[in-house]
Structures are given as C-alpha cells and as structure tokens.
A and B are shown apart, each in its own frame.
Chain A
Amino acid sequence: MKATRLLRFPTPTLTLALGLALTVSSGAAPLTFDFKDPKGVNNVSFSLDAPLEAINGSANGISGKVTFDPDNPAATKGRIVVETGSMHVPNPMMKEHMLGKQWMDAEGHPEVVFEVVRLKSVSTEGNGIRAEAVGRFKLKGVEKEITVPVTLTYLANKLADRTNGAMQGDLLVIRAKFSVKRADYGINPGAPADKVADTVELKLAIAGAAARS
C-alpha cells in the first residue's frame, strides 16, 4: 500500500526530495582553503637563540591550499609555501647574508614547502582542533618527513567579516610551533653555534579562505 502511494507521487516532487537529500549530504564535503592572504597577515616567525646573539625575524610571503572537512579533520591535506625572499630581519646586512647562497640561498631555493599528508592524534575543543600534522618539509632543497603539532580553528561564515561583506565563505586558521636544525638542511652547517644557533624555532600563524559563490 505504502509502495503504491510512493509510486503515485508526481515525478517533480520526487526529484525535488532527492535533490534536497543530495544537497544535505553534500554539505559535509571537504572545503578547499586558499592561504594567499591579500591582507598580508599570514606569517611565519623564526628565532635563533645563540649564547652570543639572538636572531628574530619573520616571513609573510605565504601561499598554498589546504583541503579541510569540518566533519572529518583527520583527512586534512594540503600544501603551504613560504617564499624565501620574503624573510625579513631588522638588520639589512644580516638580511643580505641570510638570503645569500651560504645561508638560505633565496635565489636557488625560492620556496620553503610543507606538504601535509595527514593529521593524527586529532582532538576537538570547541571550534578548535588539536592534532599532529604529518608531512614533508622541504627547505633549501632538502626534504624530510616531520610531524608538527598544529591547532586548527574553523570559522564558519567569517569570510564576510574579513572582507567587509565582499565575499561569503569560511575561514580556517592554522597555528603551529616547531623547530628544525639548520645543519639538517644544509644552512651553513659550519657556522659557529655560539653566534648562530643550530635550532631554528618556527611559529606559523596563517588563515585561509574558502569562498562560496
């Protein structure tokens, strides 16, 4: 009897119901966030604390895309690129040396890349997600697999606030703090560690936008 009733539904009603169901299920589809920030707020700060000298600076030439599913954060994947030439320290001579061939070689290696393969140990607190990002980190031509503790904050429908209503969509904020050894990546490994520390502390704070049309 029920089956007969269903069959008696007019075709447009069935199509509409099916369409609605599909729309609801596709609402959980992964979103792609673009980290090219026109406001120039996205940045990576670096610090090297040697006994004789502390070096602090930052880089803001950030781009890349991350695919994030609010319902399945563990499936997050993406690629974050930092333009080597955008690294800045307040002393002009130090900056020239830093970007030179012996240190970062900005001309020969114009990008620092972190390719996130997967997230592990994912835990959710409010709209924040703590996890460990597993990925390939490429610096000065040397690629290594590293695991980085990250915090992701998903800000639904906040893109409009950031663009004064010009664009609708969501924001994803990624924060990470980790360190690398410069000797591991061939960054002037012979330099005395009492003047330039071997450990480079990195602090990443970036926001990506997923616009809706």
Chain B
Amino acid sequence: MRRNLRYAACFIALLATTWWGARGFNRGFTKTSVPVPVIDEITGIESVDYQPRFVPGIDFLGVSAAAASLLAGSSLLFRKSRSRSNDNTTT
C-alpha cells in the first residue's frame, strides 16, 4: 500500500507536468478557450473567435502537486511491510 501510494503520487505529478508542457507551458491561469484571430475580408476588422480548448495553467500544476503530495504523505501512515523470508531466517 505504502509503495502503491508513492507510485500514484509520482504518476500524478509526472502526468500533470507532461500535460502542462505539451499544452505550451502556460504560465498563466488555466484556460478553457483559446483566442483565434479572424479577419473580415470586406471591412478588414480583426476579431477574436474563442474556440473551446483546455490549456492547463499554473493553478492546474499547483492542484496536481498538492494531490501528489497528499498521496505521498498519506503513504507514511502505513507501516513498512516485513518480508516473510526475513521472518523465516530470524526464527
């Protein structure tokens, strides 16, 4: 259990960091839409069309780090399991 929790914590931290990096290392807050510039041919007006897209930000990284820390910390609540082979040799 202790080991599984630590693996899960590492997995969450690694996944979050990879996802954050893959989506452009956004150092701002998380976005659920991204602006796409559009130019009207007749008037020349440049407008912004917001397209739905999830871009994780530093708040996402923070929450992921907190979750990973919580899992890693909770692993300390479990005792280290003794191996049976050790028990047999001592007796």
Q: Which residues from chain A sit less than 8 Å from chain B, CB to CB?
A: 39-43, 45, 53-54, 56, 58, 60, 88, 90-94, 153, 155, 158, 161-162, 171, 173, 205-207
Tally inter-chain residue pairs, CB-CB below 8 A.
60
Identify A207's interface contact among B31, B34, B40, B57, CB under 8 A: B40
Known: A161-B42, A171-B42, A207-B40. A41 touches B30 (CB 8 A): no
Q: Which 8 A-B pairs have the closest CB atoms?
A: A90-B31, A207-B43, A43-B47, A205-B45, A91-B29, A41-B40, A162-B42, A41-B47
A42–B46 Cα distance when bound, in Å, is 9
Contact flag A91-B43 (CB < 8 Å), given A43-B48, A45-B48, A58-B48: no
B residues in contact with A56, CB < 8 Å: 35
Q: Tell me if B31 and A91 are in contact (CB < 8 A).
A: yes
Q: With A91-B30, A205-B47, A206-B45 known to touch, is A39 a contact of B40 (CB < 8 Å)? A: yes
Let me know if A205 and B42 touch, CB within 8 A.
no
Which of B31, B40, B57 has the most chain A CB within a 10 Å cutoff?
A: B40
Least CB distance, B8 to chain A, in whole angstroms: 27
Within the assembled complex, what's the spacing in Å between the Cα atoms of A56 and B29? Answer: 12
Within B33-76, which residues are at the interface with A (CB < 8 Å)? 33-35, 38, 40, 42-48, 50, 55, 57
Determine whether the beta carbon of B47 is less than 8 Å from that of A58.
yes
Q: Counting CB contacts under 8 A, is B18 at the interface? A: no
Residues of A within 8 A of B38 (CB): 41
Chain B residues within CB distance 8 Å of chain A:
28-35, 38, 40, 42-48, 50, 55, 57
Contact assessment for A90 and B35 in the assembled complex, using a CB-CB cutoff below 8 Å: yes
CA of A93 to CA of B32 in the docked complex: distance in angstroms?
10
A42 near B47 with CB under 8 A, answer: yes
Q: How far is the CA of A54 from the CA of B29 in the complex (A)?
A: 11
14 new A-B pairs (CB below 8 Å) besides A53-B28, A205-B47, A207-B42? A40-B47, A43-B45, A58-B35, A90-B50, A90-B55, A91-B28, A91-B29, A91-B31, A91-B57, A153-B43, A155-B43, A162-B40, A162-B43, A206-B45
Are B33 and A41 in touch, CB under 8 angstroms? Answer: no
Q: How far is the CB of A155 from chain B (nearest CB, A)?
A: 7
List 9 A–B pairs whose Cβ atoms lie within 8 Å, in order of A's numbering. Answer: A41-B40, A41-B45, A58-B48, A90-B34, A162-B42, A171-B43, A173-B45, A205-B45, A207-B43
Q: How far is the CA of A92 from the CA of B28 in the complex (A)?
A: 13
Query: Given A39-B40, A41-B38, A207-B40, is A90 in contact with B33 using a C-beta cutoff of 8 Å?
Result: yes
